[in-house]
């Protein structure tokens, strides 16, 4: 019933797992943090216990409902010399879009079942989204550390409802990366340090979105013209041949965004920035951050 309603709300798929301590993930996360692979993302080291145990995040929780929402589009920026934006940021900020759908799903569960307590999470709390999605059978963790599915690749957002209701749980699926190393070979900053391990502090998305200080000079010429985020490891993944266009009107590119040429971006004003990215994930980097990124690509 929950999965049917999730589909009706536009989610690509829905999987359910038992809310419990993530025993296998604990040493992995600890090692990743100890090796400073989170760079300046200090928040990744916060709430270590909550990140691994949803019952500490949502009191009395029994189930984690994981949901995928497709954002793939075959549309691209028209000027191939223009600085590039990751596909996920073409339209309205996914936090707004998904939060609304999650609330509707929670209300539906409460209407149908009765008193159910829970919280909705969209990439904004200490929840290991990809781990829960994999645990609930929605895909496997690829060598680029993104969730992958045989049917539709990896261009989707992951979100959760953590609720205090016992449900039937799904089983994980098997890994289908095989001997492929396309993502590792293609990463221009060598951020995928070994299969299934990404050094966040070397990732283009980290530099262009999360990093607040200056981008290290040693990465000059390695950004492949990305100014916000990066899709390289997903673009080269063979499973993304099966990506299908999303059906979410709010993810459609802002009018004029894809037609901006190299000069338009280099001369962007704060006024145009605010108009283009009014309800966009690009606001995360702020006007000054985007200007810094464009300048870094130019120099």
Q: Which residues are catalytic?
A: 123
Structure tokens that stand for 227 in this block = 């100014």
3-class DSSP assignment, residue 93: coil
How distant is the alpha carbon of residue 42 from its chain centre? 18
Strands 140-141 and 192-194: unpaired
CB 85 within 8 A of CB 230: no
Strands 63-70 and 84-85 come out as: unpaired
**How far is C-alpha 142 from the geometric centre of its chain's CA atoms?**
14
How far apart, in whole angstroms, are the C-alpha atoms of residue 203 and residue 219?
10
Q: Which string of DSSP letters, residue by residue, matches 113-134?
A: HS---EEEESSSSS--HHHHHH
Alpha-carbon gap, residue 80 to 63, rounded angstroms: 45
Q: What are phi and psi of 141, to 5 degrees?
A: -80, 120
Coil vs helix vs strand at 266: helix
Structure tokens at 29: 């996360």
Phi-psi region of 36 (alpha: psi -120 to 50; beta: other; left: phi over 0): left
């Amino acid at each position: 019933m929950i999965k049917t309603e999730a589909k009706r709300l536009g989610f690509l798929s829905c999987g359910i797992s038992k809310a419990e301590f993530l025993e296998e993930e604990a040493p992995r996360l600890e090692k990743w943090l100890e090796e400073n692979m989170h760079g300046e993302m200090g928040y990744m080291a916060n709430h270590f216990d909550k990140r691994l145990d949803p019952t500490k995040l949502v009191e009395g929780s029994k189930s984690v409902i994981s949901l995928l929402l497709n954002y793939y589009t075959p549309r691209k920026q028209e000027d191939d010399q223009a600085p590039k934006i990751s596909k996920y940021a073409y339209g309205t900020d996914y936090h707004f879009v998904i939060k609304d759908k999650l609330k509707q799903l929670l209300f539906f569960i409460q209407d149908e079942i009765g008193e159910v307590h829970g919280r909705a999470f969209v990439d904004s709390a200490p929840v290991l989204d990809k781990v829960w999605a994999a645990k609930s059978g929605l895909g496997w963790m690829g060598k680029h550390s993104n969730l992958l599915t045989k049917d539709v690749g990896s261009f989707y957002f992951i979100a959760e409802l953590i609720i205090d209701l016992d449900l039937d749980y799904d089983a994980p699926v098997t890994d289908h990366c095989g001997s492929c190393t396309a993502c590792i070979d293609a990463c221009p900053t060598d951020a995928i340090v070994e299969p299934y391990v990404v050094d966040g502090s070397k990732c283009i998305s980290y530099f262009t979105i999360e990093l607040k200080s200056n981008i290290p000079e040693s990465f000059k010429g390695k950004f492949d013209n990305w100014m916000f985020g990066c899709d390289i490891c997903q673009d080269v993944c063979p499973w993304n041949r099966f990506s299908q266009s999303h059906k979410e009107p709010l993810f459609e590119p802002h009018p004029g965004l894809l037609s901006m040429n190299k000069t338009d971006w280099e001369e962007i004003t704060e006024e145009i920035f605010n108009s283009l990215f009014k309800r966009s994930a690009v606001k995360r980097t702020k006007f000054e951050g985007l200007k810094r990124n464009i300048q870094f690509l130019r120099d």
